[in-house]
Amino acid sequence: MKILTLDAFPKRRPVVENRKTIQGNAAKKAREVAKNTGHWALADDTGLFVKALGGRPGVYSARFAGPGCTFRDNNKKMLRLMRKVPPSQRQASFRCVAALATPKGKVVRVEGRIDGIISLKPRGTMGFGYDPIFLVPNFKKTFAELGSALKNRISHRALAFSQVPALIHQISKF
């Protein structure tokens, strides 16, 4: 199997992420890239789901603080919204959906999930996004404190992408 990145297709059209779920966005990206390139395509979408916020920011995680926001803006908004939420009610989960599509439009998906807690303040300097405020209870550290080697073994993305061989097997039956 030969693996190509989007760089191998310079005339590709960008995919607009406009679905209401991470499952929908992942499938849309995979389906459109597969259709436009004529090759199987693997895509993902990720979100942070906070129980005290009714599951927000979810699919809007990257732009939680508004258009053009930074990771820091998103973290500041999250901590502001959570400031009165007690530690016992700060549950959150990171979820990643990986979708594999054929050029004929068949799509299969898997999800990886890691549960955690929104910390009271940012901790750590590694990582990106919500990593400084996503506390992993088993390690008593945020993703930003864990380091990339450990994070890349236990994260929602790692859990989703570890299932990709099963997706390939499943979609090859179509």
Q: Which residues contact 150 (CB under 8 A, 6 or more apart)?
A: 139
Rounded to 5°, the CA angle 127-161-28 comes to 95
Is 115 one of the annotated active-site residues of the chain?
no
**Among the options 7, 44, 45, 115, which is catalytic?**
45
Residue 136: predicted pLDDT: 97
Helix, strand, or coil (residue 10): coil
Residue 20: predicted pLDDT: 96
- Spatial contact of 143 and 158, defined as CB atoms under 8 Å apart: no
Rounded to 5°, the CA angle 29-96-146 comes to 135
Selection from 155, 142, 133, 156 nearest residue 73 by Cα: 133
Residue 42: predicted pLDDT: 96
- Which pTM was predicted? 0.92
Helix, strand, or coil (residue 31): helix
Amino acid code (one letter) for 115: D
Looking at the chain, list the stretches that DSSP marks H as alpha helix, in order from N- to C-terminal side: 22-37, 71-82, 143-146, 148-154, 156-161, 164-171
Residue 7: predicted pLDDT: 87
Residue 11: predicted pLDDT: 81
10-residue averages of pLDDT along the chain (174 residues): 86 88 98 94 97 98 95 98 96 98 95 98 94 97 95 96 92 78
Residue 6: predicted pLDDT: 87
Residue 156: predicted pLDDT: 97
- Spatial contact of 125 and 173, defined as CB atoms under 8 Å apart: no
